Amino acid sequence: MPLFATASGSARTLTASRARLLPIFLLLVSLCACKGGGGEGEAQAKDGKDNKPEAIPVEVASAAHRPIAASYTGTAPLEARGESQVVAKTSGVALNVLVEEGQLVRAGQPLVRLDPDRPRLAVAQTEAQMRKLENNYRRSTQLAKQQMVSANDVDQIKYDLENMRAQHRLATLELSYTTVLAPISGVIASRSIKDGNFVQINTPIFRIVDTSQLEATLNVPERELATLKAGQPAVLAVDAMPGKTFVGKVDRVSPVVDSGSGTFRVVLAFVGGGVLQPGMFGRIKIDYDQRADALVVPRSALLDDENDPAVFAIRNGKAARVPVKLGYTDGAWAEIRTGLKPGDQVVTAGKVALREGSVVQVISLNGKAVAQAPAKTQPAAGKQ
């Protein structure tokens, strides 16, 4: 009995201890369950955040009305309209060279004086012979009236007189050639003689370039034959003077198309005499039409497919590919005939990363930075 009683008391004691530990065990299980459930919820929230598409930063511009011109552009070197190689028309020693390289001269201005002694002697000799023959002709005509000289003798004397007069004029002309004159107005581009040099006849001694008007010649494709006309304005930019432009015009247009190249010649005229010089290489733009109120966008907004022109427009925060019909292009601008309306925003930078429906974030509008909304901060742990 005592043994049984002792065992029974121990059993009752163990049962009571388990009863007291059971609530503690259940509380620990509940806490673990709550912690595990919270972790799963956070994971799901994190997964949902990662699945949200990330916005692509882009720069945009608004379609707007502005004047635009239709133009043809090309490159060509400048050439002087007038140029002359000055040659000596007689031989002789150069006594005085009157001009230097780079000097501006006028047509008819003396350039060099050659030794005139020999031509002067020829003039004096032919003049003396001419005077003698004139006297002989006067006496022969008087004697012919008295029938003392035959008509044939009178004709011979008259012939000799006319021949001598021609020789006298030739000698006088040779004497005038001893002063070399400028055939055109312009600048002395080169000089090949000095004082004391012997100059041979027909030898080039100066080169004069007329820089008052310069020309540029373009070989234009035949498709532009109907659009380019004489008198149309042109703008020239030369590499030697970046940032400066010069105004000219189409001077003449060749109506003949070269069958080999399929091009025709267009000659443009520009005012020279200043900083523009022959030989400069320039880029030329010819405006042949203009629209005062065209809907335009930057050319950088156009996608690369030339056969199917399109832009990315911003619609409800997303990129939408919009086909457009192009008109004129003028520098950095492109005319939109159909597909857009004024105020539509088109992507100008960041197009490569876009697809139809891509979510975008506008960081610049018409060249100005767009302020971004500050990010929302998460509340600290334990705070409501």
Q: Tokens for 183?
A: 């055939």
The residues of the chain that CATH labels 1.10.287 are 116-177
Where do the CATH 2.40.30.170 domains begin and end in the chain?
Answer: 54-83+210-371
**With 50 as the cut, is the pLDDT of residue 108 above it?**
yes
Amino acid letter, 278: P
| Beta sheet of 360-365, edge-to-edge order | 318-323, 310-315, 345-349, 56-62, 360-365, 368-369
Helix 151-176 and helix 117-145: axis angle, to 10°? Answer: 160
* 328, amino acid identity: Y
Q: What is the DSSP string of 100-131?
A: -TT-EE-TT-EEEEE--HHHHHHHHHHHHHHH
Mean pLDDT computed over 282-306: 87
Domain 54-83+210-371 in CATH 2.40.30.170: yes
Confidence class for position 363, pLDDT limits 50, 70, 90? confident
Q: Which residue has the tokens 């105004």?
A: 247
Once rounded to an integer, what is the mean pLDDT over residues 140-146?
Answer: 84
How far apart CA 172 and CA 127 sit, in angstroms, is: 10
Per-residue pLDDT, 331: 76
Q: What is the pLDDT of residue 77?
A: 93
> Are 112 and 204 a contacting pair, CB within 8 Å?
no
Residue 26's pLDDT band (boundaries 50, 70, 90)?
Answer: low
Q: How far apart are CA 337 and CA 356, in angstroms?
A: 22
Please indicate whether residue 106 or residue 49 has the higher confidence score (pLDDT).
Answer: 106
Q: What is the pLDDT of residues 296-341, one digit of tens each?
A: 999 889 988 767 899 999 998 899 999 999 888 887 888 899 989 9
Confidence of residue 382 (pLDDT cuts 50, 70, 90): very low
Top mean-pLDDT range of 11-15, 32-36, 66-70, 379-383 = 66-70
Sheet architecture: strand order including 92-97: 179-181, 110-114, 92-97, 198-199
* Helix (H) / strand (E) containing 59: strand 56-62
pLDDT at 22: 52
Question: Which value, in Å, is the radius of gyration of the alpha carbons in the chain?
Answer: 50
pLDDT at 262: 92
Query: Does 116-177 carry CATH code 1.10.287?
Result: yes
| Residue 366 banded pLDDT, cuts 50, 70, 90 | confident
Read off the pLDDT of residues 85-105 as tens digits, 9 standing for 90 and up.
999 999 999 999 999 998 999
17: pLDDT strictly greater than 60: no
Q: Give me 378's structure tokens.
A: 């998460």
Count CB-CB contacts under 10 A for residue 24.
9
For 52, 107, 114, 170, 207, the CA distances from 175, given in Å and listed in that order, are 100, 20, 9, 9, 23
How far apart are the C-alpha atoms of 350 and 56, rounded to whole Å?
Answer: 8
Give percent of the chain above pLDDT 90.
48
Average the pLDDT over 199-221 and give the result: 92
- pLDDT for position 43: 45
Q: What is the pTM of this model?
A: 0.56
Tokens of 329: 């292009």
pLDDT tops 80 at residue 230 = yes
Q: What is the pLDDT of residue 241?
A: 86
Positive or negative, the CA dihedral 108, 205, 96, 172 is negative
Alpha carbons 284 and 371: distance in angstroms, whole number:
41
H or E element that contains 303? none
